[in-house]
Amino acid sequence: MSRPFLKMNGLGNDFVVVEARSAPFAPSAEEVRAIADRATGIGCDQLIVIEPPLAGEAGEGVDARVRFWNADGEEVAACGNGTRCVGWLVMQASGQDQAVIETAAGLLVATRAGERLVSVDMGRPGLDWTDIPLAAAHDTATLDVSLYDHPELGTAPACVSMGNPHVVFFVGDLDTAPIRQAGPVIARHPLFPQGANVGFAQVLARDRIGLRVWERGAGLTQACGTGACAALVAAARRGLTDHTATLVLDGGELLIEWRDDDHVIMTGPAAVDFAGELP
């Protein structure tokens, strides 16, 4: 039986979104890889499945449950740009200006922020080494471990969990940083038992950060929402930036705010590319 899908993107970070609130959809890792394959499948960074909320009190007040898979077939707990796209879909369907979305990383609240703009409360960042998680105790603000030998990566990185693990390197020039070489190596470093998303951040001003992210299971993407949140938190912890900044990614810009209540708010666009049916 064929199943309809939407192809969506948030700043070029692209998704195949499958509606499964009326009929279950539980893809295998092999099926996810086939869908994500850009040569023989539909092509995407992540597959997203929208499911009904859990029954009973656990699902009370929740509009949808969402699951995410990276292109390599691994299910992951969080995806910032994907959550923004799903939030927009749910709000369009309901006619409301807010959507409560359940993920494996917890409940996330999406709100309208303008024409095709959505803000998502990504919750509190995890800053303890057990939150990331790391294989051993370390200071996550300034990691005292060499993860990759290269002059551009000489400054100690920082680690942040935004429902998924991130390590952030601060570099002098994104154009010369060894992103494609270092990204896949660091993502699989033994320090990260669940792997890591590897961010390369260049502080441009107190309120502006250039960022490229090598995502575990997806590679170098046009944008990474949780990566943008992690980069802002890491920079603000070191006093490199203020607690609100524009993150400049290959696919466009995200506004990230680390509020006084410790919640991180991400605001950016959501776009629908086309509709189709899975074979």
Q: Give 109-124 pLDDT, tens digit per residue.
A: 999 999 899 999 999 9
Q: Predicted confidence band at 27 (pLDDT cuts at 50, 70, 90)? A: very high
40: exposed, middle or buried (Cβ count in 10 Å: 0-12, 13-18, 19+): exposed
Residues 55 and 107 reside in one and the same domain: yes
Rounded alpha-carbon distances, angstroms, from residue 103 to 66, 82, 257: 5, 11, 21
Kindly list the catalytic residues: 79, 224
53 domain-assigned: yes
Distance between CA atoms of residues 167 and 158, nearest Å: 6
**Tokens standing for 12?**
């070029």
Distance between CA atoms of residues 181 and 189, nearest Å: 13
**Tokens standing for 187?**
């993502």
- pLDDT score for 57: 55
Measured in residues, the chain has a length of 279
- The SS3 of residue 215 is strand
Question: What is the arithmetic mean of pLDDT over 144-153?
Answer: 92
- pLDDT score for 58: 56
Closest CA to 65 of 21, 26, 16, 13: 21
Domain that holds residue 65: 3-123+268-278
Residues 43 and 86 reside in one and the same domain: yes
Question: What is the arithmetic mean of pLDDT over 78-99?
Answer: 96
Residues 116 and 17 reside in one and the same domain: yes
**Tokens standing for 186?**
């660091």
Residues 190 and 94 reside in one and the same domain: no
**Arithmetic mean of pLDDT over the chain:** 95
82 domain-assigned: yes
Query: Residue 44: is its pLDDT beyond 60?
Result: yes
Residues 244 and 274 reside in one and the same domain: no
Residues 35 and 109 reside in one and the same domain: yes
Residues 108 and 161 reside in one and the same domain: no
Q: Predicted confidence band at 1 (pLDDT cuts at 50, 70, 90)? A: low
Residues 32 and 102 reside in one and the same domain: yes
Query: Residue 55: is its pLDDT beyond 90?
Result: no
Residue 255 belongs to domain with CATH number: 3.10.310.10
DSSP state string for 223-262: --HHHHHHHHHHHHHTTSS-SEEEEEETTEEEEEEE-TTS
Residues 163 and 223 reside in one and the same domain: yes
Phi, psi at residue 5, to the nearest 5°? -145, 165
Distance between CA atoms of residues 213 and 122, nearest Å: 18
Question: What is the arithmetic mean of pLDDT over 224-232?
Answer: 98
Domain count, the chain: 2
Question: What is the arithmetic mean of pLDDT over 50-67?
Answer: 83
Q: Predicted confidence band at 142 (pLDDT cuts at 50, 70, 90)? A: very high
Question: What is the arithmetic mean of pLDDT over 50-70?
Answer: 85
Query: Residue 98: is its pLDDT beyond 80?
Result: yes
Query: Residue 232: is its pLDDT beyond 80?
Result: yes
- pLDDT score for 54: 79
- The SS3 of residue 48 is strand
- pLDDT score for 2: 77
Query: Residue 185: is its pLDDT beyond 80?
Result: yes
**Tokens standing for 189?**
């470093």
Residues 118 and 160 reside in one and the same domain: no
59 domain-assigned: yes
193 domain-assigned: yes
128 domain-assigned: no
160 domain-assigned: yes
Closest CA to 17 of 98, 96, 101, 97: 101
DSSP state string for 55-124: SGGGGTT--EEEEEEETTS-EES--HHHHHHHHHHHHHHH--SEEEEEETTEEEEEEEEETTEEEEE--P
119 domain-assigned: yes
Phi, psi at residue 255, to the nearest 5°? -95, 125
Residues 112 and 7 reside in one and the same domain: yes
Q: Predicted confidence band at 279 (pLDDT cuts at 50, 70, 90)? A: confident
Residues 201 and 247 reside in one and the same domain: yes
138 domain-assigned: no
Give 120's contacts (C-beta < 8 A, 6+ positions apart): 80, 83, 84, 87, 108, 109, 110, 111, 225, 265, 266, 267
